[in-house]
């Protein structure tokens, strides 16, 4: 497989810059993987599609205000994007500056925040914030919502609320699990009342989710690592649904990756790092249906959904979505994909 196999042309005006006025007001393109059939729906139609006995699994990670700006001691402009919180005062972060920061250097950030560069781990810098005993509180005070690079406007209070799922509770993500942005409390309550069990995983989405694939041969790409946990209650719910012949519905590619990572040797509860790279040919062990947004061309997420539904089916679905003027990417419309088992 070549990177060019996952390319497509998207008109700029279809890249959603803001969320819909209300959660749940988006459109839903339903793709049946085995047949390739497409159905144009509204997101609320998900209530009629899921069935009693199914389990709906969601990622409860919470987006932190991971973007910081400021100057170096020499006066140059700098931007810090936190990748991972290490402890009460240390983080791993991407640092954009005119010159590469060196160990021992100081970063002077806005809102009176300063940090020392401790060293480098691959593409990330290890930073220690001065006089800090709670990184999350510091970021909440001084940071900005880390909107994706294709969202052109400066983050505001509306983004702070809407670039976050209503069930976010475990801080650590630097990008939202965007498939979950469509759910409001009423829809989740109605789904649960229908007899669908709600279950949770945590996967802290890293900044690497926006990094482009830079190799033409897809299998040469190395995924960034992300931390996840799958609770025992979720394992029990998934196994019970499977045993009864019901569907496991993953809300988002992050949820799918957490479940599939935990099922490498039979689904087990626990926490670990995952660098699972799902491409066509992957054999899915857990997830039967996937709720997801539309993804960037030439991205690992587009490769994942192509593995789930079939490359030809996804290519046709994206062509249809463009023709029908669906809204793309984080603030855009959604898909419901039924796995291709052929």
In the predicted structure, residue 209 carries a pLDDT above the cut 90 = no
The number of helix segments (H) and strand segments (E) in the chain equals 8, 17
- Give the model confidence (pLDDT) of 48-64 as tens digits: 999 999 999 999 999 99
DSSP sequence for 196-231: PEEEEEEE---GGGGPPP--SBGGG--PPPEEEEE-
Closest CA relative to residue 324, chosen from 294, 291, 280: 294
As a whole number of Å, the CA-based R_g of the chain is 20
The pLDDT mean for the chain works out to 95
> Is the separation of the CB atoms in 97 and 77 below 8 Å?
yes
The residue length of the chain stands at 342
Closest CA relative to residue 24, chosen from 47, 50, 43, 49: 43
Q: Report the C-alpha gap between 336 and 98 in whole angstroms.
A: 43
Instruction: Give the model's pLDDT for residue 256.
Output: 98
Q: What homologous superfamily is domain 67-144 in, according to CATH?
A: QueA-like (2.40.10.240)
CATH code 3.10.310.10 for 3-63+160-338: no
First to last CA, the chain: 19
Grade residue 73 by pLDDT with cuts at 50, 70 and 90.
Answer: low
- In this prediction the pTM is 0.95
In the predicted structure, residue 15 carries a pLDDT above the cut 80 = yes
Domains 3-63+160-338 and 67-144 belong to one CATH topology: no
- Give the model confidence (pLDDT) of 262-321 as tens digits: 999 999 999 999 999 999 999 999 999 999 999 999 999 999 999 999 999 999 999 999
Beta strands at 248-251 and 289-293: parallel, antiparallel or unpaired: parallel
Q: Report the C-alpha gap between 179 and 171 in whole angstroms.
A: 18
Residue 277 DSSP class:
-
- Give the model confidence (pLDDT) of 123-170 as tens digits: 899 999 999 999 999 999 999 999 999 999 999 989 999 999 999 999
In the predicted structure, residue 75 carries a pLDDT above the cut 90 = no
Structural domain boundaries in the chain: 3-63+160-338, 67-144
Instruction: Give the model's pLDDT for residue 55.
Output: 98
In the predicted structure, residue 47 carries a pLDDT above the cut 70 = yes
Show the CA angle centred on residue 252, arms to residues 221 and 5, nearest 5°.
40
More confident: 210 or 40: 40
In the predicted structure, residue 331 carries a pLDDT above the cut 80 = yes
């Amino acid at each position: 497989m070549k990177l060019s196999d996952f390319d497509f042309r998207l008109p700029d005006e279809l890249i959603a810059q803001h969320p819909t006025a209300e959660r749940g007001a988006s459109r839903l393109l339903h793709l049946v993987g085995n047949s390739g059939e497409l159905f144009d729906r509204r997101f609320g139609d998900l209530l009629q599609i899921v069935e009693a006995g199914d389990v709906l699994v969601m990622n409860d990670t919470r987006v932190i205000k991971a973007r910081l700006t400021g100057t170096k001691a020499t006066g140059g402009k700098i931007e810090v994007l936190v990748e991972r919180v290490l402890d009460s005062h240390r983080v791993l972060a991407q640092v954009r500056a005119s010159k590469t920061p060196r160990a021992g250097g100081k970063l002077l950030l806005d809102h009176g925040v300063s940090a020392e560069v401790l060293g480098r781990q691959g593409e990330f810098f290890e930073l220690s914030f001065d006089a800090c005993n709670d990184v999350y509180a510091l970021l909440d005070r001084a940071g900005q919502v880390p909107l994706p690079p294709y969202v052109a406007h400066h983050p505001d209070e509306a983004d702070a609320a809407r670039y976050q799922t209503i069930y976010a509770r475990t801080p650590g993500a630097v990008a939202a699990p965007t498939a979950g942005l469509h759910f409001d409390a009423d829809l989740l309550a109605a789904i649960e009342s229908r007899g669908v069990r709600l279950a949770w995983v945590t996967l802290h989405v890293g900044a690497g989710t926006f990094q482009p694939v830079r190799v033409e041969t897809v299998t040469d790409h190395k995924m960034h690592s992300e931390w996840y946990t799958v609770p025992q209650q979720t394992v029990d719910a998934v196994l019970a649904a499977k045993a009864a012949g019901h569907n496991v519905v993953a809300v988002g590619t992050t949820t799918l990756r957490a479940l599939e990572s935990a099922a490498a040797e039979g689904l087990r509860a626990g926490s670990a790092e995952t660098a699972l790279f799902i491409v066509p040919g992957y054999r899915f062990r857990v997830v039967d249906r996937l709720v997801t947004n539309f993804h960037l061309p030439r991205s690992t997420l587009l490769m994942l959904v192509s593995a789930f539904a079939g490359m030809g089916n996804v290519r046709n679905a994206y062509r249809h979505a463009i023709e029908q003027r669906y809204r793309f990417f984080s603030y855009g419309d959604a898909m419901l994909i039924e796995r291709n088992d052929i």
